């Protein structure tokens, strides 16, 4: 515990205003009793105009209710409550305009105060700007889910989407189809024209998928020359003409033909792996029957 007698009142006031992150005293009913620190406009807007106002005065009702609920949680815990949230400049009425223009992500550290302020229980709410680490987190997540050659979702992301859609199917019977396809004689493209030409064929195939499929369809690169397209809300009868068109467009635009196996989620399936296995068996039939075709299981 600091010996406050070492500091004059002016020095304590200067110390509070030097706090790098803004610190708000908020009462249980949502009144801003005081604001300290957070004066660097590269990171924060000037919040001094909030003092004397309430959460309801300055925030959209839904956001105000959320903040008030967090204050109540901190007070109930009698300790520290940590939250994350995003606010744009236009979300808060009455703050300064010379702070950042972009949406700011905050980590709020909400600490119960042991005494009353304005005759109410109150918290100290320290709001730290964590936008840079949020952006980095989003970038790393995106990279960990994307195949760098095709720029399509990778196997990891595909498996989590398949899990999600299998759960939707099991619960709500929402249909979904799965196409597995593989570039025909890809090895001879690599061997005859070189590995880079093989890479270009994979990238061109992915481009056709992005152009030809609906925004709700989910093409992914499984690995090597194998791709999977998950088609939500589509049974395999509806999916067949879509996959046929995709096959034709790849032959016209990517300089290679593909063979594919198509299946759909069915009531007896215990997991998405069973659907993938049926589609893979159908792909094997497409190869066996002469390639450049889609077989529906």
Ligand X SMILES: Nc1nc2c(ncn2[C@@H]2O[C@H](COP(=O)(O)OP(=O)(O)OP(=O)(O)O)[C@@H](O)[C@H]2O)c(=O)[nH]1
Shortest distance (Å) from residue 201 CB to ligand X? 7
Q: Which is nearer to ligand X, 199 or 207 (CB)?
A: 199
Query: Residue 161 and residue 174: Cα distance in Å, rounded?
Result: 14
Of 177, 145, 139, the residue nearest 159 (C-alpha): 145
Q: Which is nearer to ligand X, 202 or 239 (CB)?
A: 202
Of 78, 270, 238, the residue nearest 169 (C-alpha): 270
Q: Which is nearer to ligand X, 194 or 241 (CB)?
A: 194
Residue nearest to ligand X (CB): 198
Q: Which residues of 178-213 are buried (b: 16+ CB within 10 A; e: fewer)?
A: bbbbbbbebeebbeeeeeeebebbbebbbbbbeebb
The dihedral over CA atoms of 274, 275, 279, 280, expressed in degrees to the nearest 10, equals: -30
Site residues, ligand X (CB under 6 A): 149, 182-188, 190, 195, 198-199, 202, 224-225, 287, 291
Shortest distance (Å) from residue 188 CB to ligand X? 6
Q: Which is nearer to ligand X, 21 or 184 (CB)?
A: 184
Q: Which is nearer to ligand X, 157 or 221 (CB)?
A: 221
Shortest distance (Å) from residue 206 CB to ligand X? 11
């Amino acid at each position: 515990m600091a010996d406050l007698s070492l500091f004059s009142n002016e020095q304590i006031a200067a110390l509070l205003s030097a706090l790098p992150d803004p610190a708000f005293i908020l009462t249980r009913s949502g009144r801003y009793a005081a604001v300290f620190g957070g004066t660097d406009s590269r990171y924060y807007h000037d919040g001094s105009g909030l003092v004397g106002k309430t959460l309801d005065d300055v925030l959209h009702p839904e956001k105000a209710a959320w903040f008030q609920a967090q204050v109540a949680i901190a007070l109930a815990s009698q300790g520290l409550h940590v939250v994350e949230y995003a606010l744009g400049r236009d979300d808060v009425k009455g703050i300064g305009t010379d702070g950042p223009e972009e949406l700011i992500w905050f980590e709020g550290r909400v600490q119960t105060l042991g005494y009353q302020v304005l005759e109410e229980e109150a918290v100290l709410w320290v709001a730290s700007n964590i936008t840079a680490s949020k952006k980095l987190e989003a970038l790393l997540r995106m990279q960990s889910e994307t195949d760098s050659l095709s720029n399509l979702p990778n196997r990891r992301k595909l498996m989590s989407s398949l899990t999600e859609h299998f759960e939707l199917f099991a619960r709500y019977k929402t249909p979904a189809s799965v196409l597995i396809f593989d570039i025909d004689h890809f090895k001879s493209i690599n061997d005859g024209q070189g590995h880079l030409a093989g890479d270009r064929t994979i990238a061109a195939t992915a481009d056709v998928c992005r152009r030809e499929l609906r925004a709700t369809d989910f093409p992914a690169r499984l690995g090597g020359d194998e791709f999977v397209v998950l088609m939500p809300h589509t049974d395999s009868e509806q999916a067949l003409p879509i996959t046929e068109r995709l096959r034709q467009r790849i032959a016209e635009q990517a300089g290679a033909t593909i063979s594919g196996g198509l299946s759909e989620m069915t009531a007896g399936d215990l997991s998405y792996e069973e659907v993938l296995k049926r589609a893979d068996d159908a792909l094997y039939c497409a190869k066996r029957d002469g390639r450049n075709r889609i077989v529906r299981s």
